[in-house]
Structure 1
Amino acid sequence: MDFRPGRFIGILIGVVVILGIGVYGPVTLLAPLPAVHAEVLSPANPAADAKPPTLPAEGASAVIAVGETKPFAVAGTADAVPIAGIAKVIAALVTIDEKPLAVGKAGDKITITTPDYAAYIDYSKEGARTLPVFRGEKWTEQQVLQAVLLGSSNNHADTLVRWAFGSVDAYVEAANTWLAKNGMKSTTVADATGLSGDTVGTASDAAMLGVLLSEQPTLHDILSQPATALVNARGVENTTDFFSDLGVFGISRSFTDPAGVCYLFTKTIGEGDAAVTVSGAFIRQPDYETLASGIEAFAASAEESAAPVDVIAKSTAYVHFRAPWGAQADGVTGKAVTRSAWKSGSSSTKVDFEDFSTKSEGAVVGHVRVGDGDASVALKLSKPIRDPGLGWRLMNPIPMVQSLIESQTSGTETAEK
């Protein structure tokens, strides 16, 4: 048969057309639609204008919401400075980790040794806070903790850690390890009492100690009690119970020459679901009068500036979806999440969403989460995104082919996992 170029070209074109129709049609008509493009939006944060509480201009201070790990308000120096009797809070927390004690229980009996009695005599001569002890008498763990926390007794702080760790030096090593483990790396103890100027910490770390104590039921219960008669009818003056008329719960109030006046406390702001408890540390206050005015200013500003706000607002778009064929819709919140403005200040908002091509109005397409996900709101589609139909598919082969390839690749990756 003679070769005819024209006839060959015609056959070739015919084959290409037939193959094209055989492949093009199924790909464009049967391939999955490409996913919509998602743009995460940044709606206004209602808590952005929340006013922080009033803190002292002098010294160092910080306030942390219980349940959080970072302060939402700080003032003064951020350096580590002497912390006076706040060191005794560390001693109590570290000891109760080592020697657990249930709420209301007396615990083990601790015999007063010669070094314990000698510490009482030495601290008394120095004019430091003490409670009397005698060689050979026995105190329970609960009673020693009462003396340390309520009475800020320096000799009892040494007695407590010697009993729990064998020596003050062994306690210092254990306490510094405990502080680092609990994220307070800017705080270092050199003793159990805080009389040493080498026992230092930041206001932020100190406020975190208040959070930890508020969450420790036995120690919190001890501080909640009035002055208590101890062994041999010796009472302990509650050195922490100041400003209770302002709703302040005292944890430690102390003074040393290197540290000045130091106060560690908690306070609950607001009511109901919007209530938040905060831990505050005021360090290096020049005198008790300045501390008092600082606490009063803080308490007043707390009530004014901790009003509840919507950290996730209702009916607000957090994601905008756009389909390749032009359809558009938003991922919108169906409800609000309300928190104290203070607590919301340290909580970031995170948005996650799913890939999809078509969905009906009201379908869940993602979530908005606050912080580490302790609160979450579903995002629902504001309008339907429908299939564009056969016409769009046939006229847009490239995105259809890409979608087919991606679906096959995705299926292969999933199968390999």
Structure 2
Amino acid sequence: MAILAVGVYAPATLLGPLPAASATTVSELPGQTDAAAPVLAADGASAVILAGDTTPFAQGGSTEALPLASIAKLVTALVVLDAKPLAAGESGEAHTIGTPDYQDYIDYSGGGARTVVVFPKEQWTQREMLQALILGSSNNHADTLARWAYGSVDDYLTAASAWLGAQGLDGITVADATGLSPDSRGTAADVTRLAALVQAEPAIAEILANPPSALVNNRGVSNTTAYLAEEGITGISRSYTDEAGVCLLFTASVPAPEPDGEPLAFSAVFLGSPDYDTLESDVRALMESAVAGAGTVPLIAQGERYGEFTAPWGATASAVAITAQSRRAWAAQDASLLVELDELSTAQLGRIVGSVSVSTPGGEHRSRLELDRAITDPGPAWRLLNPVPMITALLASVQGS
């Protein structure tokens, strides 16, 4: 019986599987410096999104949909361009001002709403109508464009609803082409995403970058979007209604503190600000925080240890990150760490053994992990002298097969 036992035990321990190494992970982000926080308004609703992101990383105030005021005109411009594309530098089709267009001008101007003057039988190109809409915040041109592209304002609204759904902007609804209706509403989060679509539309981007000095018949147009340009701001929409309060959508850029660093580019929105003085104070505070957040902080450091393996026979190795990941300090708030390690018994130096990911409100940043040293077989002596872990590993492998 002794000979039989030795004949079974020896092969089982010498040739059988080794027990798995125990694995521990770090629970906090190593090496991360304190990140600057964006300063957003307590009034109304506000949000900020970095250029290139699809999700705002910070929001302030209400998360509910609030009246949009003239930000709704940007939806009008985008939906019209969806039906009638216009390349940068092109004038587009011409539209003859008809009775409904002129009546809109009379009605809106009589009610104190923003308008750009039109007269019957004038010829307006698509580009000129968009310039009046976007830069002059012309309510009469909003309705004119909606009818010109879709036949009627009601048909435009149907198309706008479908377009918003297709873009995933479920937090925005429009009840008119102008934004004068308090039922044209949006969440700050989705309005910042709308800003990215505006910037990606060449015809609109060109209009915002190159405001004209005059339109049809040398008719002047005031650029209502211009706002605090000395702060690095490019206004996209700035407006007021009694129901909406003051609303501002803009893009901005502040220089990086590092030599040859990338500027910090972002879009932000303020909805429902009580007055223009409050808005200016809030925007300046946001820009000051942007300057503080223009630098980068490490989220994942190359070569940093994110896990540790310890074999039952005492061998150890660390799981270290292969790829460095960093984030703008401004956008590194509320970062959370997740480390996933594979099960192993022995492994060579450099083997991929898991991953580390850091989630921020603006997205996930990820790196694979590799071993910084090999974990080798302990040899026959350890195998023979440690029956409990060896037999346990053997039984586990049999049960798992």
**TM-score interval, normalised by the smaller of the two chains:** 0.7 to 0.9
Rate the CA distance shift 1:187–1:74 in 2: closer, same or farther, 3 A: same
**Which entry has the higher C-alpha Rg, 1 or 2?**
1
Please say if 1:210 is aligned against 2:195.
yes
The equivalent residue for 1:338 is: 326
Are the counterparts in 2 of residues 274 and 339 from structure 1 also a CA contact under 8 Å? no
Which of residues 48, 51, 58 is equivalent to 1:63? 48
Identity score, percent: 47
Which of residues 63, 85, 88 is equivalent to 2:70? 85
Which of residues 238, 241, 250 is equivalent to 1:265? 250
Which of residues 273, 278, 282 is equivalent to 2:266? 278
Rate the CA distance shift 1:316–1:80 in 2: closer, same or farther, 3 A: same
Aligned equivalents of 1:191, 1:25: Cα separation in 2: 84
2:172 aligned counterpart, secondary structure: coil
The equivalent residue for 2:165 is: 180
Matched residue type, 1:190: A
The equivalent residue for 1:40 is: 25
Bigger drift between 368-377 and 306-315 goes to: 368-377
Are the counterparts in 2 of residues 43 and 318 from structure 1 also a CA contact under 8 Å? no
Bigger drift between 115-124 and 395-404 goes to: 395-404
Q: Deviations over 1:10-41 (max 9, x none)?
A: xxx48xx54x5555444433334344343332
Runs (4+) of structure 1 exceeding 6 A deviation are none
1:309 aligned counterpart, secondary structure: strand
The equivalent residue for 1:414 is: none
1:310 is displaced (CA, Å) by 0.6
Which of residues 120, 135, 149 is equivalent to 1:150? 135
1:282 is displaced (CA, Å) by 1.1
Aligned equivalents of 1:114, 1:157: Cα separation in 2: 15
Are the counterparts in 2 of residues 61 and 203 from structure 1 also a CA contact under 8 Å? yes
Rate the CA distance shift 1:46–1:203 in 2: closer, same or farther, 3 A: farther
Aligned equivalents of 2:8, 2:196: Cα separation in 1: 67
Point out the structure with the larger helix share.
1
Aligned equivalents of 1:84, 1:185: Cα separation in 2: 18
Aligned equivalents of 1:375, 1:108: Cα separation in 2: 46
1:363 is displaced (CA, Å) by 4.1
Rate the CA distance shift 1:211–1:286 in 2: closer, same or farther, 3 A: same
Aligned equivalents of 1:374, 1:102: Cα separation in 2: 35
1:194 is displaced (CA, Å) by 0.5
The equivalent residue for 2:36 is: 51
Matched residue type, 2:14: L
The equivalent residue for 1:219 is: 204
The runs of 5 or more residues in structure 2 that have no matched partner are none
1:128 is displaced (CA, Å) by 1.0
Rate the CA distance shift 1:111–1:319 in 2: closer, same or farther, 3 A: farther
Which of residues 113, 118, 123 is equivalent to 1:128? 113
Which of residues 371, 380, 383 is equivalent to 1:393? 383
Aligned equivalents of 2:325, 2:278: Cα separation in 1: 38
The runs of 5 or more residues in structure 1 that have no matched partner are 1-12, 410-417
The equivalent residue for 2:292 is: 304
Q: Deviations over 1:342-383 (max 9, x none)?
A: 233376555454443323444443343455997544423233
Which of residues 104, 109, 118 is equivalent to 1:119? 104
The equivalent residue for 1:194 is: 179
Matched residue type, 2:293: S
1:240 is displaced (CA, Å) by 0.7
Q: Deviations over 1:120-155 (max 9, x none)?
A: 121111111111223333322222221111111111
Matched residue type, 2:48: V
Rate the CA distance shift 1:46–1:390 in 2: closer, same or farther, 3 A: closer
User: How many positions carry a matched residue from both structures?
Assistant: 393
1:161 is displaced (CA, Å) by 1.8
Rate the CA distance shift 1:110–1:405 in 2: closer, same or farther, 3 A: farther
1:309 is displaced (CA, Å) by 0.6
Q: Deviations over 1:363-406 (max 9, x none)?
A: 44334345599754442323331111123333334244246437
1:193 is displaced (CA, Å) by 0.5
1:273 is displaced (CA, Å) by 5.1
1:388 aligned counterpart, secondary structure: coil
Please say if 1:28 is aligned against 2:13.
yes
Aligned equivalents of 2:25, 2:143: Cα separation in 1: 57
Which of residues 233, 256, 269 is equivalent to 2:241? 256
The equivalent residue for 2:398 is: 405
Matched residue type, 1:379: L
Are the counterparts in 2 of residues 72 and 342 from structure 1 also a CA contact under 8 Å? no
Rate the CA distance shift 1:405–1:114 in 2: closer, same or farther, 3 A: farther
Bigger drift between 113-122 and 324-333 goes to: 324-333
1:253 is displaced (CA, Å) by 0.5
The normalised TM-score by structure 2 is 0.87
Aligned equivalents of 1:32, 1:107: Cα separation in 2: 74
Aligned equivalents of 1:139, 1:346: Cα separation in 2: 50
